[in-house]
């Protein structure tokens, strides 16, 4: 066996091993919040104005959730966090400020496998988690319009739920067109066929009804701003895209006042305010 052949065989073996490991452990990279150290006992804090609840999925898993009931005649923000986050920040945000003043309720959940929730994360399981959260809101507040909100990975969950269930509208912060495109942009040498969860929001956004407000930071190093702009274009005239100064996290909440006014449920026969420009 020649030296060149040995080198090629070793290189092939190392490449195959690397790709095999990537295929097997890719969900550790896609859903890092489910594979971290977790929360120590007593570390979790329930945001003021909310209560900890159990949300049950169709397959019997129990998810940790934070719930605030809406005031009579008002809507609920069903919010989904990013892949490395937890429900507490969104629960605190949507149960205070302009949202609380306007009477909104909220539900934020931890995905299966994340601290407090049973299961393991995948595209199919996160969508079921979102559907379970939707059913919980329908059960607790059957007459309340539901505004679907999501940040980053949570935006993909939001779009998937919106394609299946009636809703008031979509409020998306730093969404991606598809995970397949995002991975290809960050890791162009990786074979796309290895990706097990593709999260094709581009194929789902057309089935989402109602108004859509997409907000994206101009300096987002995780999900380039072009993703938000392109997803809005795919949604058509129902969507409004707003680029704001900030990165993947600092953009959060910058347009909350306008979003609340935009998606405020119709009351006393009055139409919703126009989409912000």
Position 87 scores a pLDDT of 96
Position 12 scores a pLDDT of 40
Q: What mean pLDDT, rounded, does the chain reach?
A: 86
Position 271 scores a pLDDT of 43
The 8-class DSSP code of residue 44 comes to -
Measure the CA–CA gap between 230 and 159, rounded to whole angstroms.
Answer: 14
* Cα-based angle 172, 61, 139 (whole degrees, multiple of 5): 65
Nearest to 68, CA basis, from 57, 53, 82, 58: 53
The stretch 145-174 carries a mean pLDDT of 97
Rounded to two decimals, the pTM is 0.87
Higher pLDDT, 134 or 1: 134
Position 59 scores a pLDDT of 94
CATH class of 31-35+47-263: alpha beta
pLDDT band per the 50, 70, 90 thresholds, residue 43: low
What are the backbone dihedrals phi and psi of residue 13, each rounded to the nearest 5 degrees, phi first? Answer: -65, -40
Bin 38: left if φ > 0, else alpha if -120 < ψ < 50, else beta.
left
Write out pLDDT tens, residues 5-36: 444 343 343 333 333 444 445 778 889 988 87
pLDDT band per the 50, 70, 90 thresholds, residue 272: very low
Between the alpha carbon of residue 85 and those of residues 114, 115, 165, 195, 246, the distances in Å are 9, 10, 25, 22, 18
Write out pLDDT tens, residues 115-134: 999 999 999 999 999 999 99
Position 8 scores a pLDDT of 39
Write out pLDDT tens, residues 188-224: 866 555 788 999 999 999 999 889 999 999 999 999 9
Does residue 248 have a pLDDT over 50?
A: yes
Is residue 140 within 8 Å of residue 163, measured between CB atoms? no
Higher pLDDT, 270 or 204: 204
């Amino acid at each position: 066996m020649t030296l060149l052949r040995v080198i090629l065989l070793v290189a092939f073996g190392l490449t195959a091993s690397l790709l095999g490991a990537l295929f097997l452990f890719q969900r550790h990279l896609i859903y890092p919040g489910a594979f971290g150290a977790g929360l120590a006992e007593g570390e979790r804090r329930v945001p003021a104005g909310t209560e900890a609840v159990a949300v049950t999925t169709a397959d019997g898993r129990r998810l940790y959730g934070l719930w605030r009931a809406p005031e009579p005649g008002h809507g609920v923000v069903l919010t989904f966090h990013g892949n490395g986050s937890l429900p507490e920040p969104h629960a605190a945000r949507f149960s205070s400020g302009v949202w609380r003043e306007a009477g909104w309720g909220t539900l934020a959940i931890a995905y299966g496998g994340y601290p407090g929730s049973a299961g393991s994360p995948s595209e199919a399981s996160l969508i079921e988690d979102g559907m379970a959260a939707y059913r919980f809101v329908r059960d607790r507040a059957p007459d309340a319009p539901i505004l679907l909100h999501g940040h980053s990975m949570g935006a993909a969950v939001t779009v998937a739920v919106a394609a299946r269930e009636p809703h008031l509208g979509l409020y998306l912060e730093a969404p991606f067109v598809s995970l397949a495109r995002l991975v290809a942009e960050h890791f162009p040498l990786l074979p796309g066929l290895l990706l097990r969860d593709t999260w094709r929001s581009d194929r789902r956004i057309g089935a989402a009804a109602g108004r859509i407000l997409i907000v994206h930071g101009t300096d987002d190093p995780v999900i380039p701003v072009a993703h938000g702009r392109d997803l809005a274009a795919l949604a058509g005239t129902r969507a409004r895209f707003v680029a704001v100064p900030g990165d993947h996290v600092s953009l959060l909440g910058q347009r909350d006042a306008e979003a609340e006014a935009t998606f405020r449920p119709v009351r006393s026969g009055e139409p919703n305010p126009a989409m912000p420009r």
